[in-house]
């Protein structure tokens, strides 16, 4: 699953519940693709991508603080 540039542009101004829902769907699809590749690999992808998304979200939160 690849997120289109148009969707990413719309998510830039979206509220956090919408962004969280899109991130959860993205992680779910990656989990299913990883499990189809090898048993247990879906969890590796979810942990890696989840931590990456969390760090990006934390960086965005810190950048927008006043």
Q: Residue 13, SS3?
A: coil
pTM value > 0.75: no
Residue 66 has pLDDT above 70, yes or no: no
Q: What's the domain count of the chain?
A: 1
44 is a domain residue: yes
> For residue range 22-62, what is the model confidence (pLDDT) as tens digits?
888 989 999 999 999 999 999 999 999 989 988 988 998 88
Integer Cα distance of 45 and 59 in angstroms: 21
Contacting residues for 51 by C-beta, under 8 A, at least 6 apart: none
2 is a domain residue: no
Contacting residues for 32 by C-beta, under 8 A, at least 6 apart: 42
Predicted local confidence at residue 61, as pLDDT: 84
Residue numbers of the domain that contains 31: 26-66
21 is a domain residue: no
């Amino acid at each position: 699953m690849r997120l289109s540039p148009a969707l990413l542009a719309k998510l830039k101004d979206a509220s956090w519940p919408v962004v969280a829902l899109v991130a959860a769907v993205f992680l779910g699809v990656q989990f299913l693709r990883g499990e189809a590749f090898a048993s247990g690999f879906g969890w590796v992808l979810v942990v890696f991508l989840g931590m990456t998304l969390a760090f990006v979200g934390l960086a965005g939160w810190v950048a927008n603080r006043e």
